[in-house]
């Protein structure tokens, strides 16, 4: 009986969500226009990931079917998609289709955390990866929503009584560093918060987040260059997109509008935990490539 119990325990642990893994997947599109320009962008991105200790990421290539390409020199996990439609103007819709095809091909576990990166943009720190890696078992998604205005976090009296004081102290430090205003519900709560802050001894870095009610999700606030989500939700989202709306030849809408709809739907369901990122630390060359041939180089920081 003891042996059977031990085997059952091992089997249970093997399928535990806590054993889920983080999977980094890069999207790529090797167009004929400015091929060498894009090739160098992808090589640079892959070299940076290798420098951070991630030497064999997953890659989905949208155009060069069936391969191989130089991408195979940098990863053994390259998938050459078959569903890209070059007649569609909305590049985001094509990326969504090819990403879904890749997720189904790789057969990741439902609770694996998928960190999707636009392959031709480069990380300039490993902060995003470390945040996702450290918190992947606590959240369902990681979405960038920049702090353009001062945010307020209201701590209610009942919350401070049941809060873990060390965790709260670390969160307070994080909010302070981000310029978020912390306010107690009553003067007594404010006094207790100040006492906790004064007694705080730890200097360990803690990635906190502001209360969700102070984050207004719109398609203008969602950045797809770096977004993480549990595999089951990522696939659900990609399957639920209104592709007819995205593919409309004249009045097509940005992919972010459809992402906004899905995320708000999950939030309204009440069981979708989001880690709100304030930045991605991604360096992006927007123009000067096949996206807009002949346009001057523009660099943006996300």
User: pLDDT of 103-138, one tens digit each?
Assistant: 999 999 999 999 999 999 999 899 999 999 999 998
18-35: average pLDDT: 89
DSSP designation for 163: S
Instruction: Provide the 3-class DSSP secondary structure of residue 274.
Output: strand
Phi and psi dihedrals of 124, rounded to 5? Answer: -115, 10
Closest-CA residue to 47 (of 103, 122, 126): 122
Q: What is the pLDDT of residue 7?
A: 43
Residue with tokens 């576990």: 109
Q: Is 213 exposed, middle or buried (0-12, 13-18, 19+ CB in 10 A)?
A: exposed
The tokens of 24 are what? 């980094």
152-155 and 181-184 as β-strands: parallel, antiparallel, unpaired? parallel
Higher pLDDT, 70 or 65: 70
pLDDT > 60? residue 157: no
**Domains of the chain, CATH where assigned:** 20-145+217-301 (3.90.550.10), 152-212 (no CATH)
pLDDT per residue over 158-198, tens digit each? 566 666 667 777 776 666 666 566 666 666 666 766 666 55
pLDDT number for residue 249: 67
Q: Do 27 and 116 contact (CB within 8 A), yes or no?
A: yes
């Amino acid at each position: 009986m003891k042996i059977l119990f031990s085997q059952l325990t091992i089997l249970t642990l093997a399928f535990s969500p806590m054993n889920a893994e983080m999977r980094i997947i890069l999207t790529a599109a090797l167009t004929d226009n400015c091929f060498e320009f894009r090739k160098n962008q992808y090589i640079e991105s892959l070299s940076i990931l290798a420098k951070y200790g991630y030497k064999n990421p997953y890659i989905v290539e949208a155009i060069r079917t069936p391969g191989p390409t130089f991408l195979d020199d940098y990863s053994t996990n390259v998938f050459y998609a078959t569903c890209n439609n070059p007649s569609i103007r909305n590049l985001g819709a094509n990326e969504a289709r090819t990403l879904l095809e890749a997720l189904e091909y790789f057969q990741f576990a439902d609770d694996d955390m998928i960190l999707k990166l636009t392959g031709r943009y480069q990380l300039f720190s490993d902060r995003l990866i470390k945040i996702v890696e450290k918190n992947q078992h606590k959240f369902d998604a990681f979405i960038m929503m920049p702090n353009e205005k001062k945010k307020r976090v209201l701590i209610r009296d009942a919350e401070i009584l049941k809060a873990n004081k060390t965790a709260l102290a670390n969160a307070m430090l994080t909010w302070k560093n981000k310029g978020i205003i912390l306010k107690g519900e009553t003067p007594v709560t404010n006094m207790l918060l100040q006492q906790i802050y004064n007694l705080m001894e730890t200097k360990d870095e803690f990635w906190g987040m502001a209360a969700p009610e102070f984050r207004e999700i719109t398609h203008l606030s969602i950045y797809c260059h770096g977004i993480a989500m549990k595999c089951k939700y990522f696939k659900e989202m990609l399957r639920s997109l209104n592709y007819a709306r995205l593919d409309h030849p004249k009045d097509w809408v940005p992919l972010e509008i459809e992402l906004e709809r899905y995320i708000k739907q999950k939030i309204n369901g009440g069981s979708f935990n989001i880690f709100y990122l304030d930045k991605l630390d991604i360096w992006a060359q927007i123009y000067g490539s096949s996206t807009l041939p002949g346009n001057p180089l523009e660099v943006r920081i996300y």
